[in-house]
Structure 1
Amino acid sequence: MRPTQTLLGGGGHGEVGRHGLYLGSWGNFGGLKQKGIISYGIAPNRQQPLAGAMHDAVFNTWRRFSTQVLYWAPPALAGYYLINWAVERNHYLNSKAGRAEFGGDEE
């Protein structure tokens, strides 16, 4: 038995065959065909997915760097100078002049 046009159009709620309701044609599952809806697309071979990527990468990197530099640069500089001072102090204390000046008094 062949379903009627009403069932094929998705307007009815009757059953068609043993699988239940008719879903509609390919691309129009679950109801009547929509009117007044326009969709546009572009073929994948016509797109330019990397258009402007290098330009945007440079300026986006600069923008992000300039907003964050004040959060990490001062502690990094302070840490560098502190470690540099500690290394120089250690070299001095372990030199001949440092041993002569402190003579094992500093811990």
Structure 2
Amino acid sequence: MRPSQILRSDDVPIGKYNHYLNKDKWGNLGCIIPQRGIITYGLSPNRQNIFAGAAHDAVFNTWRRFSAQVLYWAPPLLGAYYAMDWAIRRNEYLNSKAGRAEFAGS
């Protein structure tokens, strides 16, 4: 398929739809067939502020996740803390003068 005579002439305004620079021009900057496969992407204006509400969402998302998981780890943590506190106090008592005197016979 040959391009039409208007596309091969020099009087075509460049920049119009489907009008390209002729092959005869300096540097062969264009082509006479329409370009295909050119994809352009754009970003909508309401998606450009990527940190909008980030601090607010971080606070409330953290609270939501914390409140959903706290009953899984808080009771064992408290139990372990009180067991360790009791063991430390018991060890200090047994190694004190009063503890040695109380359990000296056994």
Question: What interval of TM-score do these two structures reach, taking the shorter chain for normalisation?
Answer: 0.5 to 0.7
AA paired with 1:69? V
Q: Unpaired runs of 5+ in structure 1?
A: 6-23, 29-38
CA distance in 2 between partners of 1:66 and 1:27 (Å): 50
Cα distance in 1 for residues equivalent to 2:52 and 2:73: 33
One-letter amino acid of the structure 1 residue matched with residue 55 of structure 2: M
TM-score, scaled to structure 2: 0.60
Residue number in structure 1 paired with 2:51: 50
- Residue matched to 1:98: 99
Closer, same or farther in 2 for the Cα pair 1:74/1:66, shift >3 Å?
Answer: same
Q: Displacement, 1:94? A: 0.2
Q: Identity, % of aligned pairs?
A: 64
The root-mean-square deviation of aligned C-alpha atoms, in Å, is 2.7
Report the Cα distance in structure 2 between the residues aligned to 1:97 and 1:75, rounded to whole angstroms: 32
Which digits, 9 at most, give the CA deviation of each residue in 1:25-73, with x for residues without a partner? 2427xxxxxxxxxx972279x8111100000000000000000000000
Aligned length: 73
- Return the alpha-carbon distance in structure 1 between the equivalents of residues 61 and 100 of structure 2: 54
User: Greater CA radius of gyration, 1 or 2?
Assistant: 2
2:36 maps to which residue? 25
SS in structure 2 at match of 1:49:
coil
Structure 2 distance, partners of 1:25, 1:40, is 15
Q: TM-score, normalised by structure 1?
A: 0.59
Shift of 1:93: 0.1
- Unaligned residue ranges in structure 2 (runs of 5+): 3-34
| Match in the other structure for 2:29 | none
